[in-house]
Structure 1
Amino acid sequence: MRFVHEIPHPHFRIGLYAWNNKYIVKIEAGPYEQTYKISEMDVTDPDDVPAMLDEPFLATVAQRFAQMDTDWQATGERNGIL
């Protein structure tokens, strides 16, 4: 996997990668990560990818991270680990 560039954001670490004829967007927040794969046939220029990361999309990403944290805490509590 080849690192293309980082996409600046105040709350997330967002990295753009290229691998196997796909662009891979990795969004990280704390211990959690979301990954999105985009065919190079759909987006021919990697500079177009940041435009896809608009505020409505990133708001949903933030909600998903919150749900991931809730899920993780719940399983830890159920199993007496966290």
Structure 2
Amino acid sequence: MRVVADIPNPNMKVTLLAWNGKYLIKLEKGSFEQTYKIGEMDVMGDEGAKALLDEEFMEATLNRFNDMRDAFVSTIRRNG
């Protein structure tokens, strides 16, 4: 697995990786993680993969992290 880029973001850690014919967009916030896989043939190289990380996508992933946290806190409260 090759690290293509660490993408600066104030809200989460963003890493673009290349592995086995795919790009992996790995997003981490606290103890939560999201990973998206894109075929290398579906984008125009490293820059094409980076271009997917536009403002709308990043906002949606941040909202998803908030939903993940809320779901996890809720299950801890119910079952902890």
Per the normalisation by structure 2, the TM-score is 0.91
- The runs of at least 4 aligned residues of structure 1 exceeding 2 Å deviation read none
Structure 1, unaligned runs of 5 or more: none
- Structure 1 residue aligned with 2:54: 54
- Which residues of 2 match residues 3-82 of structure 1 at below 5 A? 3-80=3-80
Give identity over the alignment, percent.
46
| C-alpha distance in structure 2 between counterparts of 1:55 and 1:5, whole Å | 17
Q: Secondary structure at the match of 2:41?
A: coil
Per the normalisation by structure 1, the TM-score is 0.89
Q: CA deviation at 1:8?
A: 1.3
The Cα offsets for residues 32-72 of structure 1, whole Å up to 9 and x where unpaired, read as 11100000010131122222111111111111000000011
| C-alpha distance in structure 1 between counterparts of 2:67 and 2:10, whole Å | 20
Structure 2, unaligned runs of 5 or more: none
1 or 2, which has the higher helix percentage? 2
Q: Which residue identity lines up with residue 36 of structure 2 in the other structure?
A: Y
RMSD: 1.0
Segment of structure 1 superposing worse, 40-49 or 59-68: 40-49
Q: Which residue identity lines up with residue 76 of structure 1 in the other structure?
A: I
- How many residues align? The count is 80
The Cα offsets for residues 3-25 of structure 1, whole Å up to 9 and x where unpaired, read as 12211112111001111100000
